[in-house]
């Protein structure tokens, strides 16, 4: 059975990627990648795991355990309306959230909740006004002046 270190090296070499390139994409130094592959580092966790999995286009679960799908590509059977669909950038957002401390994450979640409340209130107001026209939620643009008009 292969170790996570062997799977890491196999995935990197399968993409014809150098250790230096993987290090650049994962935001670490090249000796760190060497230590991962040689088993000097005993585990890969948190943000580094997500960065490496993303750089190698694989799943964190497969990288660590060898279980689950190797490729992180979404199967064709999963559409944007499927509950299993991950929109582009979701893993990157998760990685970035994990890098924040608890207070910072909580502030972001409060902001998202407030945005959601404003969005729902705007939709209700629009429905009360008797229309479901998305244009009414867009900010209005100022009319532009033509060259002939005085300021």
Q: Residue 5: pLDDT above 80?
A: yes
Which pLDDT value is given to residue 43?
Answer: 85
Which pLDDT value is given to residue 74?
Answer: 44
d(CA 48, CA 32) in angstroms, rounded, equals 11
> Which of 92-101, 108-117, 132-141 is the least confident region?
132-141
Check residues 142 and 76 and name the one with the higher pLDDT: 142
Span 56-80, pLDDT tens digits: 988 888 888 888 777 776 454 445 5
Span 97-120, pLDDT tens digits: 878 888 988 898 899 889 889 989
User: Measured on CA atoms in the order 79, 50, 30, 8, is the torsion positive or negative?
Assistant: negative
d(CA 110, CA 100) in angstroms, rounded, equals 14
Which pLDDT value is given to residue 95?
Answer: 73
| Mean of pLDDT values over 123-144 | 66
If we measure between CA atoms, which residue out of 56, 51, 57, 96 comes closest to residue 74? 57
- Which tokens is 135 given? 């244009």
Span 19-39, pLDDT tens digits: 999 999 999 999 999 999 999
């Amino acid at each position: 059975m292969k170790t996570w270190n062997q799977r890491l090296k196999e995935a990197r070499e399968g993409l014809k990627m150098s250790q230096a390139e993987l290090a650049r994409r994962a935001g670490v130094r090249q000796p760190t990648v060497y230590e991962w592959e040689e088993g000097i580092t005993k585990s890969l966790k948190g943000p580094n795991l997500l960065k490496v999995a993303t750089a190698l286009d694989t799943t964190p679960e497969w990288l660590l355990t060898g279980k689950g799908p190797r490729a992180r590509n979404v199967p064709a059977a999963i559409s944007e309306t499927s509950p299993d669909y991950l929109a582009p950038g979701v893993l990157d957002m998760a990685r970035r959230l994990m890098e924040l401390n608890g207070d910072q994450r909580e502030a972001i979640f409060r902001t998202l909740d407030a945005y959601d409340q404003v969005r729902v209130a705007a939709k209700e107001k629009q429905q009360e006004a008797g229309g479901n026209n998305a244009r009414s939620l867009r900010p209005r643009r100022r009319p532009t002046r033509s060259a002939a008009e005085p300021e």
